[in-house]
Structure formats: structure tokens, C-alpha cells
Structure 1
Amino acid sequence: MSQPFDLSQFPDLPPEVVKAFAAQSAALEAARFEASVERAARQHEQAVVVEKDAFITELKALIEKLEGQVGQYRHAKFGPKSEKLDPAQLELALEDLEAAIAETQEQIAAVEEKIAASETEPEKKAPRKKRKARALPEHLPRVERVIEPDSIACPCGCGDMVRIGEDRVDRLDYIPACYQVIVTIRPKYACPKGRAGVVQAKAPAHLLEGSWPTEALLAQIAVSKHSEHMPLNRQAVVMARHGVPIDRSVLADWMGRTGALIAPVVDRIMAVLLKQGSTRLYVDETTAPVLDPGRGKTKTGYFWAVLRDDRGWNGPAPPGVVFHYRPGRKGEYADEILTGFNGTIQVDAYGAYTHLATPKRTGGDPLRLAFCWAHGRRKLIKAKPKKGSPIVDEALVRIAALYKIEDAIRGSAPDHRRAVRQDLSRQLVDQFFAWLAAQAGRVSRKSDLGAALAYMLTRQHGFRLFLDDGHVDMDSNLVENAIRSPAMNRRNALFAGHDEGGRSWARFASLIGSCKMNGVEPYAYLHDLFTRLANGHLDKDIDALMPWTYAAALDPLTMSSSGSPQ
């Protein structure tokens, strides 16, 4: 920068010249200052543009990442059936994808906030959009925490400000599990003169006499294992983290002894399902790996599920499910489990059930077998070639039309359901099997598609049975849903340690499954059940221990005038 001209070197200059030079110098300084300000503003604007470009580039990358994650989520949840994961694996995959999507959305929101903060014009600084408020359950206890300003003195000097409103924000909190020791003290009293005996209160009854756990702790361990699918070794780790180092083998001992004590209750539930007003049951089976000590490996046992749920036709009997452990999948086990039941069973077309519909059945009269349309549909989907099949596509459309009719009559009386099916569904079923037979003639029976078509064609009688009986459903999905719980427990625990361990699994799964079907919280029911069993209620009135009786006691409106569940 050039130095200003020094007029002191010329003292003889006229005053008007000095003034002219001074004015010119001031104008030059002003121009220089204006130029420097303009240059600084231009540099700032360029820096803001560069910063915004960086933000936008980052935002575009995050949006691209989010779109990819959403695409993966949709593919995992709604993609082709042939590419779908096992249900348990799918839940884990969706869980991780949802967490990744939430993380990316948070990163996008942070970048948007930075862009808004960099705006020099106030009207462009848009505040971040708030998440949509969700209501927390009303039954949860509320702890109010009021945060007051440091001072409410009015700046104008008029005194304290007055309260004109408030903002409320709900947040969900967690109180860690707390273990405690209950010390029972029973004082002894005696006559000071030794003229009478000793007086002492009677010791309270315990479910497991001579052991540490209360009925509440036993219920918690059982629910954690059989409802939340947390094996005992993991529970032992959690307990140790809370300062209660109890070995897994001790927990197993507690559960084994408890499992033996609940056996009569589960047996009673099964007796009710088989004989008390039941005309139709669902039956299914799933594998139950069991340790085989003699060979040092696992063998394959089975959980057989027997379920009653008459809500589809508005039946009066309460729903329930009982699981039976058996070492195999032979038909004799199905006959043994269903001994005493006469009516209809809803099953897949597994061959073990076939003899139950013949005079060879030893456990009662021949049963009617209603086959599951969902299984038939699944076989068609599985047989669909990768390049597609118009036969499978049309078959699925025809089956979907039947399900649409079923949706409209679910919960209606049996006579109404039968009438609608005779009027609407029968024609569709007749057309479906006639069309299926025509397609089967065009497809090799040795192909997967040919086998899937033959599967339904050769079992027409069982697939048509729902048309003539309003008590029967189109599929056995209800029992398949119920059987997922022990299947999840199997995946987490890998195997049962013994056949008796498999039977214990089945008993707990029966009680917890029946609780869920009746809208009962499993922990509350088991706590109450264990307390009643400890106090000898089993010998007084076993029917009062049923899950549906517990549900009715919680909701008096569901009780009839006689006191039994509606």
C-alpha cells in the first residue's frame, strides 16, 4: 500500500492547496476502506458457498446411503419368498437395518441443522422438525420433575412473574432389577412361669421348600427363559452382574422342580381342551433337539402342539394351547396325545395324521382332517421357478379370493360362516381344483411344480372340509404362530439336556402360550399360580388355576352369572 503524501515538507503551500490535498487523501482512504470491506464480504460469501457445497455433498451421500438401507429393508421384509431368511434371523436382520436407518436419519438431520445455521438471512433458518409425539402407556407410574427458573423476579420491578402455562415432556425411564433377601422371623413365646407350651406362628408355605427362591423369583426365571427366550446360563450372568452369583446348575434345579409341580395344571388344561365342548382342535409339531448323553450328540425330539381357539366362530370356550414332548414324530404319538378327542383336527397333510381318520384309530372315533390351505399355498410358492410361472401366479390369485371371503366372516356364527361358504366359496373351490387338474396335465409330476399341484389335488377332501363346517378354518396358522415361542427358545438354548428337560420346556411353554392367548401377563399369572400351589390350592379347586380363569378374575365383565368364564 502506498504511503500518504506528507504536506509538512512543503510549509509554503497555499491553504487552498492543502485543503484540496486533504480532501483527496480522505476520499482515497474511504475508497480503500470500502474496497477492503467489499473484499472481506466476498471472501466470506465464497467461504459460505464452499461450506454449503460441502454440506450438500455430505447430505447427498447420506441420502444415498439411507435410500440403500431402505431398499435393503424392503427387500428383507417384502422380497421374494425364496430369498427370505428364517423368521428368527429375519427379525435380527430387520432390527439391525432399522437401527442403521435411524442412525442415518439422525446424521441427515444434523447436516440440515448445520446448513440452516450457516444461513445469514434469518427467515431461511428453518428450525428442525420435531419427531411426531408418541403416547406412553397410561398405566405406567409417573414421576413429575418440575424445573423452575433461577429467578421469577420481573425485570420491570413489579414483583414476581405469574405462571401462565407450562411445557410437558414425557421420557421413558428404567429402574434396574433389584434383588433382595426376605428374612422371615418367627418369634417364640412361652409362659414366664413355665405353665404352658410355646407359641409360634406357622411357617409360611413355599413352593420349593428348603430353597432360596421366592415364588416371584421363580416366575421371573421361568418367564425370562420361556417367554423372552433367555437361557439359564445367560440369566446367571445377568444375576452375577447385579451382585447375585448363582450358578446355572442351581437355576436349572429350581426350574426342574418347579416344572414337576406344574404338571397337574398342564394336564388339566389338556383335559379341558380335549373334552369340554371342543369340536375342533389345531395340531402341529416342531423339532426339539435333545442331548443324547450315550452318543455325545443331540437327537431329534418333537414338540406336539394342541391348540383350541374358537374365537374365529365366536365360540364360548376359552382358548388354550398345550405342548407335548415326544421323542419322535410317529403317528402313534399323535394318537396317544389326542386320546379321548372326537371331532375335527386342523393339520398340515403330514402322513402321521392319516390313520387318525380311519377305523384303525385306537384313541377314539375316526377324526376328520381339515388340511391347511396356507401349507398348499406355501408349496406352490416354493415350487415357483426363478424365471416365474403363470400357473403359480394364477393359483395364488384364486386362493387369495377365498381368503378375502374368510376375512369378511371371521368371528361370525358357524351357521352364517357355512352359508356364506356354500354360496360364495364352494364355486371358487370347485373351479380352483378343476383348473388345477388341467394345469397338472401340462406339467411333469417329477418337477417341483408338478409335486406341489399333486399335493393339493390328491388331498382335495381335506382342503374342502371347511366348506361344510362353520367351526373349521381354512388353515392352521394359529397353531403355527403358537409354536414359534418354543422354537425361538430352541434356537437360543440350542437343545434340551434330557428328555425330561424337553417335557419341562413343554409344560412352561403351555402355560405361557395359554396366558398370551387369553391376554394374561405371564409373569403375573405364574407368580399367582406358584403362590397358590405353595398353599395347597391344587387339591382344593384345580380349575381356578387355569389361565382363562385368572383372566376372567381380572375382568369381571367376562364372567357369567355362575362365575365361569364366558
Structure 2
Amino acid sequence: MSAMTAAAEDLDLSVLPPDYRAAFEALQATAARAAELEEIVKRLEHLVAELNQVVHGKKSEKLSEDDRQLAFEDLETAVAEAREQKQTEAPGDDTPKRKRIARRNRGNLPEGLPRIERVIEPDSLDCPCGCGQMHKIGEDRSERLDIVPAQCRVIVTVRPKYACRTCTDGVTQAPTPPWLIEGGLPTEGAIAHVLVSKYADHLPVYRQSQILARSGIDIHRSTLADWVGVAAFHLGPVVDRLAEHLKTSTKLFMDETTAPVLDPGRGQTKTGYLWALARDDRAWGGDDPPGVVYFYAPDRRGENAEKFLKGFNGILQLDGYQGYNRLTRPDRKGGDPILVAHCWAHARRKLKEVFDRDGSEIAAEGLLRIAEFYAVEADIRGIAPGQRLSARKARTAPLVAAFGDWLQAQRKRVSAKSRLGEKLAYIHRHWDGLQTFLHDGRVEIDSNPVENLVRPIALNRKNALFAGHDEGGKAWGRIASLIETAKINGVEPFAYLKATLEAIANAHPQNRIDELLPWNVKPSS
């Protein structure tokens, strides 16, 4: 309680003259508002401190990317609420004031968006001096984003029939336009919307059915699922061609992630896998566009990787999963032995796990040594492969050699059965692959690009829980391949899928299928 409030309780205001009493009450109200603002400021300071902890604090490394984004959203929402409260409850007179415009990320309103102008005229154009009507000398314009919930509409196709009044030679009528689902309910745009909602926005079809029902449109989830299946079938050749295109490269990434699948025979789920095969040469200015294909397999056996990579010869960047070892053998099926580039991010992660748990000084030193490699990579990102290779030979190779000596020395000191010993042994087992990036400027230091492309699969897995069947897992991988490839090429997925499905419905020639690859399609606005 403030001193003024305490004094006010002891003071009998009724003995004061009216003017003094009103002034004292106004002073009390101002003091109360100031106290409220002080509490708001304290709350803001606390929220900003928490936000900084999420962004910069050590604990942020323990959060997944999705967890961090959720933390950002909720904390930023709370900060905005507190700021608005502070703005609204600021002491002062009752005169309406123009709110300060936030300078942080106001968003972007593209020129192509439809604009509806609302002109607000003054109540009167008569000059206050009585000398006549005022003339327009300018105007102020302000733009705000308005959102109308997704609008469903019905496309009515009318085909008039014509006949001759004189003869009876027949009736003429235009043919029905080609549809992806002949005689079906959806347009290609409706199908594309369901695909993007399911595989890009992670909305299972039963939730989409519920959303449509709120607009008065009763479409059962089984019908939506049927649309997805038809689209997956027709998009299959495009995905197959995308995979062929990727495998003509001489350097690719590969990773795998779980894809839970319902096992009807047991009434529960089993663990399937989506194997991501990706190309991303943007870090060194490669000419080939980036792309990714997700192959579904019911298990994680290495023979699946061998099958998916049939026809590929070159360098494969991946983690330390031993199932890939068969790809390096002379008797590899489907191509020459593959040269493996292992991932320093995984090596670092092993040491980080030990350091976070035990505070190991050996793990801490290993982390500092690896950080020196990444400092060089940050300097050479985006330059030509030859320049990257020269910089690595001059700056990184001595650091890696020193790390190798340090690694062997620590393995002699540490028990092989200890937690740290196991992590050091992991790095030792993959030592040759960890040095591949020192001999080719196109190779990355880690496989993070493909790990980023696996993340949307994990998001869909969390929302959809599981695929209903192995065939559903294949459709999942097929459509996700096109959506994610479109996204990393800067192509809007809905516009791409709509244009591609329309082209397929119009019997796009098989010998021109490359025109339907995501980086080649130019959807109309």
C-alpha cells in the first residue's frame, strides 16, 4: 500500500472544500493507475526475460524446433497483450490518441491482393468561415489485411444442345471438359486444397470434413480420402520422374524417419519408415534445383535404401545408421559403391548429450573443437566449390587432424563401456566418412538440409497419428514429395498441385512429364 493511499484512509475528505476534494480524488486515481502500470511493466519485463531465455538460453538447445515455435507464439502473444493493456490504461486525459504503430514485422501486403476501397468523407464540406464549399487537396491512404474464411463455390458446367429446325440430321453439343475424377464432385482445385491441407497443413481428412460441415457442406471423410487416393495415383509418374531426376546427381542426402501405420490384423499400429532422398546444392551455388522424394517402406532394413538408390552413383550424405553400410560394398546392387559423407552435427550431438548430462570436460573440449570447424563453414557458405575446398584444406584440415589425435588420446583414457566412451567410439567408427567434406567442396559438413526436410513428416505424424495402411504411407510420401519440393523452390504448393492436376486431367503427354516437375511449373495467379 502506498503512503498516499494510507494517508487517504486516515483523512476525512468530507471536511475539505469541494474543489480540494475533487483534486485529491483525481490525484488518488492517478496514483492507482501508476501502480497498475508498474505491475504491467514488471509483467512485460518477466515475459521478455523468458522470451530471451527461449531464444538465447542454454535450455533452448533442449527444445525441438516445434517446441521453440510454440514457446515463441505463446510468449509473444502474452507480450502483445501486456503492451496493449499498458497502452489502454496509460494515465492521461480522455482524449482519443493515435496508437503507436508497431515497427516489428508488420507483415507484407502483396500488390496482387484484391483491394476494396472505402472512402470516408467528412460530415460536412462547408468551410467553417462560411466562404463556400471546400475542395479536395489530397488524401491519406492506409491498408489493413482482411481475411474472409475459405469460400466454397459450385462450378456449374452448362452444355447447350443445338439442333436444326429444318432437318433431323442430329444434335450438336460441346463435349464435357476433362476432369480428373470423371463425373465426380470436386474440381482439381478442390482436390489440391485437400492435399495441401492434409500434407502441408497437417489436417487429417476427418478434420477437413468437420471444417466443411461448418460451412454447410456435408462430405464424409471417406469421400475426401478417395480424392486423395485418386490424386496420389495420377501424381505417381511425376514423383517417379522427380526421383529419377534426383538420382542423376552426383551428390545427395538421405535420412529416414518413422511413419506409424495401422496394422489391421493386430488392431494397433506398426512402425513404417519414410526415407527422404534430397538434393540441395544451394550452399555452393549449384545449377540443379533442390528437391526431395520420400519413399515409404514397412521397415528400416538397409536393403530398402539399396532399392531406393538404384541407379545413383556418387556421394551420399547421411547419419551413422549402419543400414547404409551395404551401399559402400563392391557387390552393391543397382550401381557402383557409394562414397559416404557422414554428419558432424550427429557427432557433435553425441558429445552434447554427455555434456548436458554429466558436464564432462572432455565432451566440452570436443564441442569447442567442432565449433571451430563450423566457424570456417560459416565463412565459406555460398561461395564456389573450388574456393570452399581450398579454404577447408588450409583452415579446417589441420583442425580435423588435431581432433583425430585428440579423439584417440581420449579413447585410451576413457572406459569404452562408459557413456562418454560409447560416444567417442561412435565418432571413431565414422571417422573416414566425417572427413569426406575435406576432399570435395560440394559436400556439406553435415546432413542438416535433409533433416530439415524430414521435419514436415514429423509434424504430420503428430497430427494424423498414423497412416491407415501401408498404401497410405506410400501416398503420404508421394504427395509430400511434390509439396516439399515445391516449397523449397519457392513455388506455392496449392497453385502447383492445381495446375499439375489440371494438366493431367487434360491428358498431358508422358514424353513431356518434366514440364510437371515443381521447378518447371509456372502456375497462373
Establish whether residue 346 from structure 1 lines up as the match of residue 317 from structure 2: yes
Q: Distance in 1 between matches of 2:28 and 2:410?
A: 66
* Cα distance change of structure 1 residues 507 and 96 upon mapping to structure 2, 3 Å threshold: same
Secondary structure of 1:407 counterpart: helix
**Alignment gaps of 5+ in structure 1:** 1-35, 556-566
By how many angstroms is 1:298 displaced?
Answer: 0.3
Q: Which amino acid aligns with 2:21?
A: Q
| SS of residue matched to 2:299 | coil
| Aligned-partner SS, 1:323 | strand
Tell me the equivalent position of 2:191.
Answer: 218
Q: Which amino acid aligns with 1:525?
A: Y
Aligned to 1:18: none
Which is further off, 188-197 or 350-359? 188-197
Structure 2, unpaired ranges of 5+: 1-13
Checking the alignment, whether the CA contact within 8 Å between 2:109 and 2:145 is kept in structure 1 is no
Find out whether 1:391 has 2:362 as its counterpart.
yes
Question: Does residue 308 in structure 1 map to residue 279 in structure 2?
Answer: yes
The counterpart of 2:203, out of the listed 230, 234, 243, is: 230
**In structure 2, do the counterparts of structure 1 residues 343 and 502 end up closer, same or farther at CA, with 3 Å as the change threshold?**
same
CA deviation map 1:508-536 (0-9, x unaligned): 10000110121101111101100000011
Give the direction of change, closer, same or farther, for the CA distance of 1:271–1:126 in structure 2 (3 Å limit). closer
C-alpha deviation, 1:318, in angstroms:
1.6
Q: Report what 2:53 is aligned to.
A: 75
**Equivalence for 1:199:** 172
Match in the other structure for 2:44 = 66
Quickly say closer, same or farther: Cα 1:274–1:81, change in 2 above 3 A. farther
The residue that corresponds to 2:5 in the other structure is none
2:292 corresponds in structure 1 to 321
Whole-angstrom CA distance in 1 between matches of 2:352 and 2:21: 64
Q: Does 1:478 align with 2:449?
A: yes
- Partners of 2:349 and 2:213 lie apart in 1 by 46
Report 1:145-294 matches (<5 A). Answer: 145-275=118-248, 278-294=249-265
* RMSD (Å) for aligned C-alpha atoms: 2.4
* CA displacement at 1:457 relative to structure 2: 2.4
What is the CA–CA distance in structure 2 between the aligned matches of 1:501 and 1:326, rounded to whole Å? Answer: 11
Q: Is 2:502 the counterpart of 1:531?
A: yes
* Identity rate, percent: 49
- CA distance in 1 between counterparts of 2:61 and 2:317 reads 28
Structure 1 counterpart of 2:29 = 51
Structure 1 residue 401 displacement after superposition: 2.1
- Tell me if the contact between 2:269 and 2:466 (Cα under 8 Å) persists in the aligned partners: yes
Q: Bigger CA drift: 388-397 or 257-266?
A: 388-397
In the TM superposition, what are the counterparts of 1:406-445 in structure 2 within 5 Å?
406-445=377-416
Following superposition of structure 1 onto structure 2, how do residues 329-408 of structure 1 map, counting pairs within 5 Å?
329-386=300-357, 388-408=359-379
Q: Give the structure-1-normalised TM-score.
A: 0.85
- State the shift of 1:364 in Å: 1.1
Q: State the partner residue of 1:90.
A: 68
Q: Which residue of 2 aligns with 1:138?
A: 110
Q: Distance in 2 between matches of 1:444 and 1:52?
A: 69
TM-score, with structure 2 as normaliser: 0.91
Cα separation, 1, equivalents of 2:18 and 2:60:
63
Q: Name which of structure 1's ranges 298-307 and 97-106 shifts more when overlaid on structure 2.
A: 97-106
Q: Which has the higher mean CA deviation after the structures are superposed, 149-158 or 41-50?
A: 41-50
Deviation at 1:41, TM superposition (A): 4.2
Q: Check the 8 A contact 1:512/1:522 in 2, yes or no.
A: yes
Q: Deviations over 1:408-465 (max 9, x none)?
A: 2222222222111111110111112222333333333333222222221221111110
Within-5 A mapping of 1:17-36: none
Runs of 4+ in 1 over 6 A off after TM superposition: none
8 Å Cα contact 2:354/2:360 also seen in 1: no
In 2, distance between residues paired with 1:50 and 1:232? 59
Q: Summarize deviations over 1:22-51 as a string: whole Å, max 9, x none.
A: xxxxxxxxxxxxxx9984444334323322
- Please say if residues 232 and 252 of structure 1, whose CA atoms lie closer than 8 Å, have aligned partners that are also in contact: yes
SS in 1 for 2:519: helix
Number of equivalent positions: 510
- The range that moved more, 345-354 or 131-140, is 131-140
| Conserved 8 A contact 1:81-1:382 | no
CA contact (8 A) 2:60 2:68 kept: no
Contact 2:53 2:59 in 1 (8 A): no
Q: Which amino acid aligns with 2:285?
A: N
2:10 aligned residue: none
Matched, 1:99 2:77: yes
What's the counterpart of residue 519 of structure 1? 490
